[in-house]
Amino acid sequence: MQLYTQMRVPAYGVHIHESQMPHLLHRLLPQVKPDIVVITGHDGVLKNRLPNELHNINSYKNSLNFVNAVKIAREYEKTLDGLVVIAGACQSHFEALIQAGANFASSPGRILIHALDPVYIAIKASYTSIKDTIDLSEVIHGTISGIDGVGGIETMGRHRIGLPKPKMALTTVI
């Protein structure tokens, strides 16, 4: 939250158990009306899974919770450019998160990601003009974890320029 403040990106943060995220988002999205949602926490590939079950959502600690939260966000705003959704954590099921409707997700390489990677992407989205597509290569390579830690799809930025210049950014991140 400190980094959002430093970068002048208005943000509303909530610390909650991953299993409660879908329910909370269902309630918060209509109240806060954000431009960007970051759904993150803790995740990981379960150790007691069969070797060929890496693509089974049940082989992950919290990926299903993140997928359900992304689905709630997409029920709230169906268009990929109307609400930028950044989801996942360390070793999350990247493909399931993207399929559920996330614009950006972790972890294509099933690696541990840096806690600031989703924050960096959210800030980049908030400062990219709504007329421009977020440069995928630039934003992914700008993260600490890189291409094995974060991936995404073509997404429009959320920044609007106005005159006179607003004193604060116009985007909100949950």
Model pLDDT for residues 8-53, shown as the tens digit of each residue: 999 999 999 999 999 999 999 999 999 999 999 999 999 988 878 9
User: Do 72 and 55 touch, CB atoms closer than 8 A?
Assistant: no
User: What's the pLDDT at 52?
Assistant: 86
Residue 152 pairs in a beta bridge with 104
Across the chain, mean pLDDT equals 94
| Each residue's pLDDT tens digit, 120-157 | 999 999 999 999 999 999 999 999 999 999 999 999 99
pTM: 0.92
Average pLDDT over residues 72-86: 97
User: What's the pLDDT at 170?
Assistant: 61
How many Å apart are CA 63 and CA 73, to the nearest integer?
15
How many Å apart are CA 65 and CA 4, to the nearest integer?
25
Q: How far is CA 142 from CA 72, 103, 123, 139, in A?
A: 28, 16, 12, 5
The pLDDT > 70 percentage for the chain reads: 94
**DSSP per residue over 69-135, as a string?**
HHHHHHHH--STTTSEEEE--TT--HHHHHHHT-SEES-TT-----TTHHHHHHHHHHHSBTTSB--
pLDDT at 168 over 90: no
Q: Which residues of 124-163 are buried (b: 16+ CB within 10 A; e: fewer)?
A: bbbbbeeeeebeeeebbeebebbebbbbbeebbbbbeeee
Average pLDDT over residues 86-107: 98
